[in-house]
Amino acid sequence: MAFRKRAKKAPESFHFEERGGSTVFAEGMRHLTQEIVNSFDARAVGVATLRHETATTLRGFRQEMKNLHHELRRKAADLRRFLSHAEASRMRHFRALHESIRAGQDARSQHLSGMLAGFRQMLFGFRQDHQAAAGHWQHMAAALAKKRASFAR
């Protein structure tokens, strides 16, 4: 940062008395020149101060962005770990639920198989009873037909 730290004095070459000019004019010019130099120095100091403040603000901003970047990375890693753990937990619960559903299905399937076997036996029993009854019915019909034939003669 190159800037003037203190005001410079007006050059001594602004003495107009030697040329026959008025001392008041020379003093006025010297005073005006001194104000211009002081004003320039003040602006230079202001610009340097502004530049320094801007650089400081930018450094602070960059540091905050770096901190935010690290915090977001840490939070993303935490989120990944949480989701991974949650997924593993959900899969354990899903497998347990799936096994309980399968066990219930197996129990219902065995119960249904037992009921169907019972119905088959019952139907087989009904069929045997039906066949036996049909046999008795045919035997009785044949016996009645014989008796009718013997009465009809």
Kindly give the confidence (pLDDT) of every residue in the chain, 153 residues in length, as a single tens digit, with 9 standing for 90 and above: 455 455 555 555 544 444 455 788 888 888 889 888 888 888 888 888 899 999 999 999 999 999 999 999 999 999 999 999 999 999 999 999 999 999 999 999 999 999 998 888 888 888 888 888 889 999 999 998 888 888 776
CA 70 to chain centre: 18
| The two three-digit tokens of residue 71, written as one number | 């915090």
| 10: Cβ contacts below 8 Å, ≥ 6 apart | 29, 30, 33, 34, 37
Residue 21 to residues 10, 11, 27, 29, 65: CA-CA distances in angstroms? 18, 17, 11, 12, 64
Closest CA to 38 of 58, 10, 80, 76: 10
**The dihedral formed by the CA atoms of 123, 128, 132 and 134, expressed in degrees to the nearest 10:** 50
